[in-house]
Amino acid sequence: MADPILEVHDLRVTFDTEGGLVPAVDGIDFAVAPGKTLAIVGESGSGKSVSSAAVMGILPSNAEVKGEVLLDGRELVGLPDDELRKIRGNDIALVFQDALSALNPYYTVGWQVAEAYRLHHAVSKKAAFKRAVELLDKVGIPDAARRAKSYPHEFSGGMRQRVVIAMALVNNPRVLIADEPTTALDVTVQAQIMQLLADVQEEFGTALVLISHDLGVVAEVADDVLVMYAGRAAERGTVRDLFYRAAHPYSLGLLGAMPRIDVPPKPRLTTIPGSPPSPGSIKTGCPFQPRCAYTERVGERCITERPELTPRPGEGDHEAACHLGRRPEVVS
Amino acid sequence: MPGLVWFVIRRLFSALLVMLALSLAVYLVFYAIPTDPALLACGKPCTPDRLEQARHFMQLDQSTMQQYLNFLKGIVAGRSYGEGAAVLHCDAPCFGYSFPLARPVSTLIADRFPVTASIALGAAVLWLVIGVSLGVLAALNRGRLLDRLAVGFALIGVSTPSFLFGLLAILVFGFWLNMVPVNGYVPLTESPVDWAWHLVTPWLVLAVLQASSYIRLTRAQMLEELNLDHITTARAKGAGERRVVVTHGLRGALVPIITLFGLDLGGLLGGAILTEKVFSMQGLGDLLIDSVGNLDVAVVVGVTLFAAFLVILANLVVDIVHGALDPRVSHG
Amino acid sequence: MSSSVAGVVSPTRQALRRVRRDRSARFGLVLVVVLIVVAAASPLLVKLSGQDAFTYHIDLLDPVRGNAPRGSFGGVSAEHWFGVEPLTGRDLFSIVVLGLRTSLVIAIVVTLVTTVIGTLLGITAAYVGGWFDAVLSRFLDFLFGFPQLVFMIALGIIVPTSVPRPLLLIGVLSFFGWAGLARLIRAQARSLVTREFVEAARSVGSSGWWVITRELLPNLLGPVLVIATLAIPGYIGAEAALSFLGVGVPPPTPSLGRSISDSIVWVYTGTDPWFMVFPGIALFTAVLGFTLLGDGVRDAFDVRLRRTH
Ligand SMILES: Nc1ncnc2c1ncn2[C@@H]1O[C@H](COP(=O)(O)OP(=O)(O)OP(=O)(O)O)[C@@H](O)[C@H]1O
Ligand SMILES: [Mg+2]
């Protein structure tokens, strides 16, 4: 693999809340190289958004971040806010999960995109606005010069997501973190947005961290995949490792929950029974154990010993955190 | 824009209806008084004959409904009381005539309004500035000393009845320290310096108390606003803390603040009753209290309507400003 | 359903727990409890002090100083815990605790009345909608356009004295007070009405009354409680202001506002500032206690009371 532009080592995020300390992210590693796409998948609450916010350094003040975040070899954790501010939105940009609430309702979209540009370039408001219109046009907003003067609520969901993407791209960031950029959108719009991201990546060599629920999308665009479960990495590898050689029962469950075009849709997708644990609630053993169909085969260890990532067969660095030595066969 | 024009016309029309209903209500209530206002005008000794004369002159011998219609007619066409040499003219728009004070109501209001307006406007500027800036500072320093001080100050402010605080201020600054005049009003046109000097204490008293509500409101709104997703977006763009707080946070908190401000100011302009009483200033509130004591119904009706008009006007202005401040509100 | 998950506590219990943990709310609660106990036991306390609020003690006044009380702190002594009123020599402790009772009774009764009326009308308007909602909204506009204090003063002067003043005060404050509450509750209820569980209840043919009392009301308990608690200090202040202006509770019934008004001249002449201090502190404490408690309740229920248009 080419030298990674963004590297994350043993990232831990703990929230200090009314109900005690919440370890939302409990030691994850990933890396992404220019022009490549890393997908982070996992159920709701597994810590995907918290991880990306930690990389950006925009977590609320009750969060404690530990570990390393290296941008082009430069450590970001612990950097003073003044320094970080120059990187945020400039070198690393974030596309938010919910475009409606991510945009400020009181300003026009053109203003908001222009603001992102002005924050990192000493240009006039007018020039920044021109740049904003250019970006809005590039992300496929029809009649961008006029629409730039509209407010977020005057756009459709898909168009709003494009605005958010324009805002993230306006400074040609080297790393783009897209947090479920297409969840709220219908399928055709989803495809358009994904195509847009792919085009940008191709044109600028942007490294993309794509957070997604949708394994279909992941299969199509990702190079590497990180599967998260309860704030930890369950499995990581290349996209082919995951889809052809998934080694963690949880990954298999996710794959089983994936809608498929070649099979007639069932009324309900096969989902993994049970619900994910709240962060930190499982202190010993494998966090997935209560929902795992393979516990019996492994026995005691799943309850007493926390599985670490260990190498698995595959292309390169395929790893999984499971006591089950060999690849589990699908149980139905 | 034509939408806004229609909105204003519609609102003014409904304001007219509210004021008609209001004036009728005031008339009906005040004509249920058991004491006869003519008694005061009758002179001594008050023979039944002279009383009857007075009643006729003041047009109190007509039915309540007829008197109300006279009042309405007077607004459009003016009215006159008595006949022959003793006739009293009240030119249109005539809002009634005060027999005890021997002046048309509109003249009385015009005389007294500058006093009330001076108190209200001066205090309003102060409390808005103090309240909003302390509220923002408190929100920014949440939990720290500055926040605690501002919150404590606001708490004492909202818990102190205005008349009590006014009396204390007069006591301390007027009597003990002998710094400021303790009562009286000097017109602005006579001497701007004396005008301000006489108003300093009422301004400060009103401002400090009112500012307390604004500190609380601003702080609460800011905290809520700073929790929104688009604030995180602003941080992710690389905006500095000042920009995040003022441009993005305060902007959203502005709408409820301005709303409250308009309503408070509108209410106060109709008579800063307590303040006027405490500082012995002859404003509208003072006029009203005196008139109620004198059973001077014409003035009570006039001042009540004027006050109501100001409240309604303030509501209208607030709604228009609201539309201007929040692009999501349309007055169509 | 997630409600079956063990360890989920009801929102009310959770809120109570938060109130208990919030230091200033706890302080407010203590103040409020003390105030209510004092007010409720005021006749007893007065008896205990061996005084009453009506007997003149001319002998305790100093004619040389315009009949201000003799002795320091406004004549504080073992018999007269807060000293005596100038000019009359009546026991100030009795006047203050009985005045406090007047304030609290009026404020609490008004709060109860306005809360019941405002909640029911607000919820009904949100649920029924249509003409009822339209008429109510117009009427609320009418009330908001009203210069309320002005009107209360006027009524206080012109209503015949045969109508008991406390009742008149309660009536007038309630008449104007329910409007704000109704508007807030209506806004909160409207967001509920469109939610699934209400739709569901409707679709299985539940009666309107059933939906209002079983579905909407329980869900609005938090906001109602918050608005009501926060309204009490406002009514305490309003009653005091009206009495201060001379249109509240008439003498000889003790009233904090009136005592403060009476004290002005004694304060300014410097002859007896203590006459203002005791009623002033009582009034301040009452408003402060309920404000703190109201803030705590609001934070605990996490209710947002935005003004809605
Ligand atoms: N500010 C916070 N304070 C306390 N806990 C938090 C905070 N933010 C997030 N968490 C907790 O961190 C965990 C991970 O949340 P996160 O938003 O990263 O999930 P996610 O994987 O992005 O889920 P989704 O797919 O729903 O977006 C959750 O359990 C959440 O409760
Ligand atoms: Mg997320």
Minimal Cβ distance to B163: which of C154, C244, C273:
C244
Asked if pLDDT for residue B281 goes beyond 80, the answer is: yes
For residue A249, CA distances in Å to A275, A291, B109, C88, C247 come to: 15, 10, 83, 89, 78
User: A199 is written with which tokens?
Assistant: 């085009």
Nearest CA to ligand 1 atom 10: A24
Which residue, B289, C2, B114, is CA-closest to A274? C2
* C-alpha separations of A101 from A97, B39, B233 in Å: 9, 68, 9
Mean residue pLDDT across chain A: 86
A-facing residues of B in 233-252 (CB < 8 A) are 233-241, 243, 248, 251-252
Query: What is the number of H-type helices and E-type strands within chain A?
Result: 13, 12
Instruction: Please state, in angstroms and rounded to a whole number, the distance separating the CA atoms of residues C251 and C258.
Output: 9
Best-predicted range by mean pLDDT (A53-57, B53-57, C56-60): A53-57
**Touching B: A residues 266-325, CB under 8 Å:** none
Rounded distance from Cα A276 to ligand 2 centre (Å): 14
Same domain assignment for residues B74 and B215: no
Looking from the CA of B78 toward its CB, the CA atoms found within 13 Å total 6
Give the mutation target among A25, A46, A180 for probing the ligand 1 site: most ligand atoms within 8 A of CB: A46
The count of domains in chain C is: 1
Same domain, B306 and B212: yes
The phi, psi pair for A253, rounded to 5°, reads: -60, -45
H/E stretch holding A187 reads: helix A187-204
By CB atoms closer than 10 A (0-12, 13-18, 19+), residue C206 is middle
- pLDDT at res. A107: 93
Give me the residues of A, 113-172, that contact B with CB < 8 A. Answer: 115-116, 119-120, 151, 153, 164, 167
Query: Whose alpha carbon is nearest atom 25 of ligand 1?
Result: A44
Question: Are both B79 and B119 inside the same structural domain?
Answer: no
- Predicted confidence (pLDDT) at residue A330 exceeds the cutoff of 60: no
Q: What angle do CA A166, A170, A171 make, to 5 degrees?
A: 150
Percent of chain A at pLDDT > 70 equals 93
Q: Which pTM does this prediction carry? A: 0.80
Is residue B183 one of the residues assigned to a domain?
yes
Same domain for B299 and B177: yes
Mean pLDDT throughout B101-129? 90
| CA distances to A251, B88, B215 from B84, in Å | 104, 9, 61
Contact state of C273 with B304 under an 8 Å Cβ cutoff: no
A211-to-A178, A203, B23, B110, C166 alpha-carbon distances in Å: 6, 21, 64, 68, 65
Taking CA atoms only, the protein residue closest to ligand 1 atom 18 is A47
In angstroms, the separation between the Cα of residue A121 and the nearest Cα of chain B is 11
- The 10s digit of each residue's pLDDT in A232-262 is 999 999 999 888 888 888 888 888 766 555 5
Which atom of ligand 1 approaches the CA of A43 most closely? Answer: 25
The SS3 of residue B150 is: helix
pLDDT at B84: 66
pLDDT at A70 over 90: yes
pLDDT band, very low/low/confident/very high, at B324 (cuts 50, 70, 90): confident
Residue A276 DSSP symbol: P
pLDDT for C306: 43
User: What is the Å distance from ligand 1's center to A24 Cα?
Assistant: 7
Cα–Cα dist B293/B299, whole Å: 11
Distance A9 CA to ligand 1 centre (A): 20
Using CA atoms, how far apart are residues B128 and B134, in angstroms rounded to an integer? 10
Residues B49 and B146 in one domain: no
Task: Give the pLDDT confidence score for residue C10 in this predicted structure.
Answer: 66
> Hey, are the CB atoms on C287 and B161 less than 8 Å from each other?
yes
Q: Quick check: helix, strand or coil at residue C207?
A: coil
- Structure confidence by residue, pLDDT tens digits, A8-43: 999 999 998 877 888 899 889 999 999 999 999 988
Determine the pLDDT at residue A151.
93
Contact A318, A311 (CB under 8 A): yes
Identify the weakest region by mean pLDDT among B32-41, B50-59, C185-194, C200-209: B32-41
Ligand 1 site residues (CB inside 6 A) read: A 15, 17, 22, 24, 42, 44-50, 60, 97, 278-279
- Interval B241-246 mean pLDDT: 88
Helices and strands in chain B: count of H runs, count of E runs: 14, 4
* C124-144 pLDDT tens trace: 888 877 888 888 888 887 787
Which residues, including other chains, have CB under 8 Å from residue B93's CB and lie 6 or more apart?
A: B74, B75, B76, B78, B106
**B75 and B202 housed in the same domain:** no
- DSSP bridge partners of A228: A233
Which value, to the nearest 10 degrees, does the dihedral of the CA atoms of residues B51, B57, B61, B62 take?
-170
Report in angstroms the alpha-carbon separations of C25 from C35, C100, C234, C288, C297.
15, 21, 18, 11, 7
The string of DSSP codes covering C38-84 is HHHTHHHHHHHTT--SS---GGGEEGGGTSEESSSTTT--SS-TT-B
Q: What letter does residue A17 receive in the DSSP assignment?
A: E
Do residues A255 and A219 touch, judged by C-beta distance below 8 A?
no
Does B198 fall in a domain?
yes
Q: Which domain holds residue B226?
A: 109-330
**How large is the average pLDDT for residues B115-134?**
91
Work out the pLDDT band at B33, boundaries 50, 70, 90.
low
Burial class (CB in 10 A: 0-12, 13-18, 19+), B284: buried
Residues of C in contact with B256 (CB under 8 A): 306-307
Distance CA B20, CA A76 (A): 68
Q: Are C242 and C248 in contact (CB under 8 A)?
A: yes
Q: Which atom of ligand 1 is nearest to the CA of A231?
A: 14
Residue of the nearest CA to atom 12 in ligand 1?
A24
Task: Give the separation between CA B307 and CA C173, rounded to whole angstroms.
Answer: 19
Q: Are residues B187 and B72 in the same domain?
A: no
Lowest mean pLDDT among A52-66, A263-277, B316-330: A263-277
Cβ of residue C145 closer than 8 Å to a chain B Cβ: yes
| Sequence-distant (≥ 6) Cβ neighbours of residue B257 within 8 angstroms | B132, B214, B217, B218, B221
pLDDT digits (tens, 9 = 90+) for C176-233: 888 888 888 888 887 777 766 666 766 676 677 777 777 777 778 888 888 888 889 9
Would you state the structure tokens that stand for residue B268, as one six-digit string?
């106060």
Q: A96–B234: do the CB atoms touch at under 8 Å?
A: no
Could C306 and B21 be called an inter-chain contact, meaning their C-beta atoms sit closer than 8 Å? no
Cβ(A217)–Cβ(A190) below 8 Å = yes
C3, burial (CB in 10 Å: exposed 0-12, middle 13-18, buried 19+): exposed
Which regions of chain B does DSSP assign to beta strands (E)?
79-81, 88-90, 97-98, 103-104
Half-sphere exposure of C201 (CA within 13 A, CB side): 18
DSSP E strands in chain A: the ranges are: 6-17, 20-32, 37-41, 63-71, 74-75, 92-95, 175-179, 207-212, 224-229, 232-238, 310-311, 319-320
Two structure tokens written together for A71: 């941008």
Rounded distance between C-alpha atoms, residue C98 and residue C104, angstroms: 10
To probe the interface with B, which of C103, C137, C144, C150 has the most B CB atoms within 10 Å? Answer: C150
Q: Which residues of chain C have pLDDT under 70?
A: 1-11, 53, 60-61, 65, 67-68, 72-76, 78, 80-81, 89, 145, 147, 157, 195-199, 201-203, 205-206, 302-309
> Quick one: pLDDT at residue B2?
67
Give the residue from A16, A106, A119 with the most B CB atoms within 10 Å of its CB, the best one to mutate: A106
Domain range for residue C53? 15-307
Neighbours of ion ligand 2 (CB under 5 A): A 49
What is the average pLDDT score of chain B?
Answer: 82
Nearest protein CA to atom 17 of ligand 1, as residue? A49
Pick the residue of C146, C148, C288 with the most B CBs within 10 A to test the interface with B by mutation. Answer: C146
pLDDT of residue B328: 79
Per-residue pLDDT of B129-159, as tens digits, reads 999 999 999 888 888 898 889 888 888 888 8
C4 belongs to a structural domain:
no
Residue C134: exposure state from Cβ atoms within 10 A (0-12, 13-18, ≥19): exposed
Nearest to A120 among B234, B238, B327 (CB): B238
Dihedral sign from CA coordinates of C25, C29, C35, C36:
positive
Whether residues B161 and C142 touch (CB distance < 8 A) is answered with: no
Residue B41 pLDDT level (bands cut at 50, 70, 90): low
Which of A127-131, A161-165, B240-244, B280-284 reaches the highest mean pLDDT? Answer: A127-131
**Could you read off the pLDDT of A113-134 as tens digits, one per residue?**
999 999 999 999 999 999 999 9
Interface test with chain B among A115, A153, A164, A171, by most B beta carbons within 10 Å: A115
- Dist. CA A97 → ligand 2 center (Å): 7
Residues C283, B30: C-beta atoms closer than 8 Å: no
Strand partners, A310: A320
CA distance C144 to B15: 11
Tokens of A204: 């600028």
Task: Assign residue C152 the CATH number of its domain.
Answer: 1.10.3720.10
Whether residues B175 and C268 touch (CB distance < 8 A) is answered with yes
Identify the three-state secondary structure at position A210: strand
Among A14, A15, A215, which is best to mutate for testing ligand 1, by the most ligand atoms less than 8 A from CB? Answer: A15
Supply the pLDDT for residue A266.
Answer: 44
Q: Which pairs with CB-CB distance under 8 Å and at least 24 residues apart come from B192-195?
A: B195/B118
Statement to judge: residues B161 and B298 lie in one domain: yes
Centroid of ligand 1 to alpha carbon of B86 (angstroms):
84
Percent of chain A with pLDDT over 90: 43
- Identify whether C252 is preceded by a cis peptide bond (ω within 30 of 0): yes
Q: Residue written as tokens 């995109």?
A: A113
> How many Cα atoms within 13 Å fall on the side-chain side of residue C168?
21
Same domain? B42 vs B73 = yes
Residues B119 and B87 in one domain: no
- Predicted confidence band of residue A167 (pLDDT cuts 50, 70, 90): very high
Is residue B228 in a domain? Answer: yes
User: What percentage of chain B exceeds 90 in pLDDT?
Assistant: 10
Model confidence at A291, in pLDDT bands (50, 70, 90)?
Answer: confident
User: Would residue B26 count as lying in a domain?
Assistant: no
Query: Can you name the residues that pair with B88 across neighbouring β-strands?
Result: B81
pLDDT of C308 reads 36
Which residues are CB-contacts of C55 (< 8 A; sequence separation ≥ 6)?
C90, C91
Could you tell me the two tokens for C292? Answer: 């703190």
Give me the number of domains chain B comprises: 2
Q: Which residues of C touch B273 (CB under 8 A)?
A: 149-150, 153, 245
- The ipTM, to two decimals, is 0.85
Q: Rounded to an integer, what distance in angstroms lies between the CA atom of residue B328 and that of residue A155?
A: 12
Task: Based on the fold, state whether residues B71 and B138 are members of the same structural domain.
Answer: no
Q: Is the CB of B159 less than 8 angstroms away from the CB of C233?
A: yes
- Residue C212's contacts (CB-CB under 8 Å, 6 or more residues apart) are C123, C124, C127
**B233: closest chain A residue by CA:** A102
CA-wise closest residue to A65 among A14, A7, A9, A8: A14
CB contact under 8 A, B18 and C141: yes
Q: Whose CA is nearest to atom 28 of ligand 1?
A: A45
pLDDT of residue C78: 67
pLDDT, residue A269, reads 43
Residue A264 has pLDDT above 60, yes or no: no
- How many whole angstroms separate alpha carbon A36 and alpha carbon A224? 8
Give the β-pairing of B88-90 and A20-32: unpaired
In total, chain A counts a number of residues equal to: 332
Higher pLDDT among residues A281 and A7, named by residue = A7
- Which CATH number goes with the domain that contains B253? 1.10.3720.10
- In this structure, what are the phi and psi dihedrals at residue B81, rounded to the nearest 5 degrees? -110, 140
Q: Is the peptide bond before B202 cis (omega within 30 degrees of 0)?
A: no
Give the distance (Å) from ligand 1 centre to CA of residue A12. Answer: 13
